[in-house]
Amino acid sequence: MRRGLSVALVWLSAGGALAADLPRAIQPDDFPVPGATSVLLGRDLFFDPILSGNRNISCANCHDATFGSSDGVSLSLGEGAHGRGMLRTGAPGQDEPRRLPRNTPSLFNLGAFEFTVLMHDGRVEADPTTRFGFRLPEGRFLERPVPSALAAQALMPLVAADEMAGHPGENPVADAVAADNITGLGGAWDLLARRVADTPEYRQRFAWLLGQGEPLHAIDIARVLSDFMAYEFRASDSPFDAFLRGDDRALSNDALRGMAVFYGKGNCASCHSGPFQTDHQFHAIGVPQIGPGKTHGPKTADHGRAAITNSPDDAYRFRTPSLRNVVLSAPYGHSGAFDTLESMIRHHLDAMTSLAEYTGDAALLPHPDAPEDMLGAMADFDEVLNIAAAIEIAPVALSDAEISALMSFMKALTDPISTTGRLGPPEHLPSGLPLDSNITPPS
């Protein structure tokens, strides 16, 4: 039997949807086309600890190609820790770094034009009623236009104490953040921009972009960071993309069966729709709340989108992530509660039971605290009931064979270049600061 005919028969016998039910193929014009000068400048700053208050952590420490542009753990240890993944730990003789309250999201395709809402709770989003068109968290606002939500979001970790800024008394940037002095002259963003401008190589390279003598602003830094991320983490050449473009040999028979489940019986596409497999909306799916949480309610509660909109209807809703390169970016869920993709899939099939039976064993936590502490809200019976009451996805019955096929389809969403990144790290940093010893520069 010719393979083309075999593919069609597998698709039909699996109860596959009509072609009209599949998303369109990703197109080149879904993405911006940043200039090489900006991309390379953004790359250096992405890997340079100069953007952190204590000059000890870079964007790349938490968004590492080795871990699918995330950091490989459920909830990482923040600024002040050392190492990567499960080996991350605090430095001897220093205060214990705080654990971040949410899983580090991957960066794949976030530079595409349709991504206008970012972060688990959507606290960075396009808003035409807001000056310069993007709304940021309270106390932060754009002082100049930005080209995308990704550029706006790039400003946020720089002024987050546990992510990059540091804590009061450690450095002037951290002190400014603690005083809620973020914008304007002498604000945290301005202090970082001046620091970069005081580095001769950075000053010259920004002059090529902005014009000689033009003062550097934090927005300029955010722009080049977003240009790099949009280029480096673009993922649009997976086997599924090839299939959508007409290559019926691109997917295995198992992947085709999984595609039929995804767009049919599994009801996955009700949320994971469109070319990037996200509806960009917020849904409550009952992911167990582990770790310190955002302290929105009793103890370690995290109310998700409701903390942004102040609407009870949004309680425990979190943004639908894209599934591109999903097999690369474990753990899963806003709290990283599930260490494998299969466990995340099985949670979707019966969220209520999964939540009730969750023990914390499926989490990856570097340097774990006492188990009872890391269970967080799961140790609060009333809070678990609140999470359960908000669940909005209905149970779905899938056989082990159908789950296996679904996993095969998920693997077919991987762009091979994403395992290393398009450019990778630079050989040296203009600031003179050391490149993280765990990051290997190109040979």
pLDDT value of residue 341: 97
Q: Which domains does the chain have, with CATH numbers?
A: 36-70+105-234 (1.10.760.10), 239-416 (1.10.760.10)
Reduce the DSSP state of residue 184 to 3 states and report it: coil
Percent of the chain residues past pLDDT 70, beyond the cut: 91
pLDDT reading at 4 higher than 50: no
For the chain, what's the residue count? 443
Neighbours of 170 (CB within 10 A): 17
pLDDT reading at 94 higher than 80: no
The one-letter amino acid at 151: A
pLDDT tens for 107-149 read: 999 999 999 999 999 999 999 999 999 999 988 999 999 999 9
pLDDT reading at 8 higher than 80: no
pLDDT reading at 391 higher than 80: yes
pLDDT value of residue 299: 75
Q: Are strands 318-319 and 117-118 parallel, antiparallel or unpaired?
A: unpaired
Measured CA to CA in angstroms, residue 66 lies from 63, 311, 366, 425, 439 at distances of 9, 38, 17, 12, 9
Q: What is the mean pLDDT of the chain?
A: 92
pLDDT value of residue 419: 87
pLDDT tens for 212-269 read: 989 999 999 999 999 999 999 999 999 999 999 999 999 999 999 999 999 999 999 9
pLDDT tens for 26-40 read: 999 999 999 999 999
Residue 370: pLDDT band (50, 70, 90) is low
pLDDT reading at 14 higher than 80: no
pLDDT tens for 256-314 read: 999 999 999 999 999 999 999 999 999 999 999 999 999 898 779 999 999 999 999 99
pLDDT tens for 401-415 read: 999 999 999 999 999
Min mean pLDDT across 344-348, 398-402, 421-425 is at 421-425
For the CA atoms of 343, 329, 70, 305, the dihedral, rounded to the nearest 10 degrees, stands at -60
